[in-house]
Amino acid sequence: MLSIIIINYNTFQLTVECINSIKKSIISDYEIILIDNASKDHPPKDFLTIFPSIKLIELNENVGFGRANNIGMQQAQGEYFLLLNSDTIIKEDALDKCLSYLKTHSNIDILGCRAEFPNGITQLTAFQYEGEHSLIRSIIYFIKRNSTVQYANQLYKKWKKEKNAVLRQEQKKITEPTPNFAYGKRIGSLSGVFMMFNRKVYDETRGFDPDFFMYYEETEWFINRIYNRYTILYYPYASIIHYCGQSDVHGAMSTQFWVSSALFWYKISHLHLFFYSLFLWIDIPCNLFNYVFSGNKNYIVKIKQIWTTLKFIPVICRFSNSFNGRNAMLKVKIS
């Protein structure tokens, strides 16, 4: 049996459409476990009025993505699990295709499918991993995401008249089913939008690290506890539509993203967090320079987010960087 676990947070109508698409597209034996993260937009019990066969778990507070999924996986009865975003639509027989592939390929433990934007453009949901989180590679990554380096790169592309070509390529409908690197090769991690896997993966790794409230939880799970033990596959011959970010329509959680990224690097190692913090400090005057030069107020917003993240560093280091090392999830209070 396939246990489909969906987290709802203020996305009632989208979740209804998601469940309807599941019911239309699957013939295999399955159960749907819906965890409501203390939504305010609609009474959660209304789901049972529409779908009386689902298992509804109502939470008294928003415990975030990872913890809510862990609760669902604890209740799941299936041999296979699917973690599915509520803002998705299953296309055709995507679930049966993925489940059949997992069952007939015992060497594959985790599988992700093709996700599309509503306009048909393929989303990047499969990621390589070739030691990118070694200390040297991480430092190079920190340098590349420095604001002035990125801004200078944008100016260079504009000067080379490459910007319009890039935009045209991005706007062009992509018909290829997968990035060239992905299918048939070992993948480092998948987006949390669609993750189908054998139950043993959860049983042996204990699921998402409950220290994370939102963002980076699937990256930490893959890098620290999945990649070296299981085989991950991107399967492009099954598709879903993903609307993206519907639980955070106003971008209120962007600061949480920054703080969770710091926690992620701490989970890799203390030294990774040190260099991450160092480059955050360097990024403050760089963003200020970019603002003066360009007048773009987004750089001021970024400075505020970096400053908030830096204030969280002592809070992060107060606890162990091991799995579930904190006494509570790391959550930023949104005013």
Based on the fold, state whether residues 74 and 206 are members of the same structural domain: yes
The CATH number that applies at residue 190 is 3.90.550.10
Q: Which of 275, 264, 277, 274 is nearest to 308 (CA)?
A: 277
Is residue 138 one of the residues assigned to a domain? no
Greatest Cα pair distance, the chain, in angstroms, is: 59
Last residue of a domain, one of 184, 218, 247: 247
Is residue 123 one of the residues assigned to a domain? yes
Based on the fold, state whether residues 177 and 311 are members of the same structural domain: no
How many domains, the chain?
Answer: 2
User: Residue 295: left if φ>0, alpha if ψ -120 to 50, beta else—which one?
Assistant: left
Residue by residue, pLDDT tens for the chain (335 residues) are: 999 999 999 999 999 999 999 999 888 899 999 999 999 989 999 999 999 999 999 999 999 999 999 999 999 999 999 999 999 999 989 999 999 999 999 999 999 999 999 998 889 888 876 555 778 888 887 887 776 676 666 665 665 555 455 444 444 443 444 444 455 566 888 999 999 999 999 999 999 999 999 999 999 999 999 998 999 999 989 999 999 765 554 455 788 999 999 999 999 999 999 999 999 999 999 889 888 888 889 889 999 999 999 999 999 999 999 999 999 999 988 65
Q: Are 228 and 201 in contact (CB under 8 A)?
A: no
Is residue 147 one of the residues assigned to a domain? no
Based on the fold, state whether residues 216 and 114 are members of the same structural domain: yes
Q: Are 116 and 123 in contact (CB under 8 A)?
A: yes
Based on the fold, state whether residues 23 and 103 are members of the same structural domain: yes
Based on the fold, state whether residues 242 and 256 are members of the same structural domain: no
Based on the fold, state whether residues 124 and 203 are members of the same structural domain: yes
Q: Give backbone dihedrals phi and psi of 72, rounded to 5 degrees, phi first.
A: -65, -45
What is the rounded distance in angstroms from the CA atom of residue 59 to the CA atom of residue 37?
Answer: 5
Is residue 296 one of the residues assigned to a domain? yes
Instruction: Report the pLDDT value the prediction gives residue 158, as an integer from 0 to 100.
Output: 61
Based on the fold, state whether residues 211 and 119 are members of the same structural domain: yes
238: containing domain: 2-128+171-247
Pairing of β 88-90 and β 30-36: unpaired
Residues 6+ apart with CB under 8 A from 185: none
Q: Find where tokens 């159960």 sit.
A: 31
Q: Find where tokens 């396939």 sit.
A: 2
Is residue 100 one of the residues assigned to a domain? yes
Is residue 241 one of the residues assigned to a domain? yes
Q: Are 241 and 116 in contact (CB under 8 A)?
A: yes
Residues 6+ apart with CB under 8 A from 202: 73, 81
pTM, rounded to two decimals: 0.86
Based on the fold, state whether residues 319 and 210 are members of the same structural domain: no
Distance of CA 259 to the CA centre of its chain: 15
Last residue of a domain, one of 247, 268, 299: 247
What is the rounded distance in angstroms from the CA atom of residue 82 to the CA atom of residue 88?
Answer: 13
Is residue 327 one of the residues assigned to a domain? yes
Q: Are 290 and 299 in contact (CB under 8 A)?
A: yes
Based on the fold, state whether residues 201 and 299 are members of the same structural domain: no
Q: Which of 240, 205, 189 is nearest to 14 (CA)?
A: 240
Is residue 162 one of the residues assigned to a domain? no
Distance of CA 193 to the CA centre of its chain: 6
Based on the fold, state whether residues 325 and 194 are members of the same structural domain: no
Q: Find where tokens 């306009």 sit.
A: 119
Last residue of a domain, one of 247, 272, 302: 247
Instruction: Report the pLDDT value the prediction gives residue 289, as an integer from 0 to 100.
Output: 86
Based on the fold, state whether residues 83 and 198 are members of the same structural domain: yes
Instruction: Report the pLDDT value the prediction gives residue 161, as an integer from 0 to 100.
Output: 57
Instruction: Report the pLDDT value the prediction gives residue 184, as an integer from 0 to 100.
Output: 56
Based on the fold, state whether residues 190 and 274 are members of the same structural domain: no
CB-neighbour burial class of residue 60 (10 A; exposed 0-12, middle 13-18, buried 19+): exposed
